Amino acid sequence: MSIFDQPKIDCHHHVFDPQRFPYAADSGYHPAGHELATLEHYRAVMQAYGIRHSLIVGPTSAYNTDNRYLLAALAEGEGRHKGIAVVPRDADSQTLASLQAQGVVGIALNVAMLGVEPFLQLDGLMGRLAELGMYAQIQVQDDQLPALMPLLARSRTRLLFDHSGRPDVRAGLQQPAFQALLSLAQREHTYVKLSGLAKFSRQRYPFSDGQPYLQALLSAYGGEKCMWGSDWPFLRATERMDMGTLLMLAEQLFPDAPTRRQILWQTPQRLFGFGD
């Protein structure tokens, strides 16, 4: 079965609609032009490519901790979407539980954008997430992860790593940060998105220098702890991006049909509670 025909869950994309939901004044980046991406447009993309469900990630860019559009998209989605929200780091349990009741399954910790320091002593938020069974979705890059390892060792929170850990492809597979990510495969309730090649590759499509990192993660974590995401609508892309070519690349990267079904469907369906 072609990847275009098999059922899929896109585990990382954003929505932007500044006409209905103006951007937050304190956000560092305002998507425009081809980066504008309404839920209605994404639903057409889903239909075109056979994507049945998705995980909508609230962006630190544009909306920051303003989750109104994310929650509206979840409400309008009729069960087809779940969400990752951005909240203040001191968000209380009541706030988190309210988001969870509306379809939010986790909270984004954008270390790559904000730096390591604000997250080193995040035990309170991590504990509240653990109590609710929510995910801490962590985006790191380059050599940031080792500094967070003491926090993660103290935490019982479900962890979901964004974009393959965004390794430094110049530093090789043995770099300490990537080895730390591989070591976390042994930790219970720790998962990784095999996504974001364009964010850390230093080559053009098909991003060949980044592919060994995805293969190493899949080998360490197994299909039961990995998932795929498109990163649509490709914020700050340095070259043209297309959903179709990304799916074709995923089919080439994960040629084993049962493993590909785990990554594209079974694992996210189980973890995020999507229906059939």
Please say whether the beta carbons of 124 and 94 come within 8 A. no
The answer to whether 189 and 155 are in contact (CB under 8 A) is no
SS3 191: strand
Burial bucket for residue 36 (CB in 10 Å: 0-12, 13-18, 19+): middle
Give the count of beta carbons closer than 10 Å to the beta carbon of residue 257: 12
Domains of the chain: which residue ranges? 8-272
DSSP string, 214-261: HHHHHHHH-GGGEE----BT-TT-SS---HHHHHHHHHHH---HHHHH
pLDDT tens for the chain, 276 residues: list them.
Answer: 899 999 999 999 999 999 999 998 888 889 999 999 999 999 999 999 999 999 999 998 899 999 999 999 999 998 999 999 999 999 999 999 999 999 999 999 999 999 999 999 999 999 999 999 999 999 999 999 999 999 999 999 999 999 999 999 999 999 999 999 999 999 999 999 999 999 999 999 999 999 999 999 999 999 999 999 999 999 999 899 999 999 999 999 999 999 999 999 999 999 999 987
Is-above-0.95 flag for pTM?
yes
CATH 3.20.20.140 correct for 8-272: yes
Task: Answer for the pair 103, 74: CB distance below 8 angstroms, yes or no.
Answer: yes
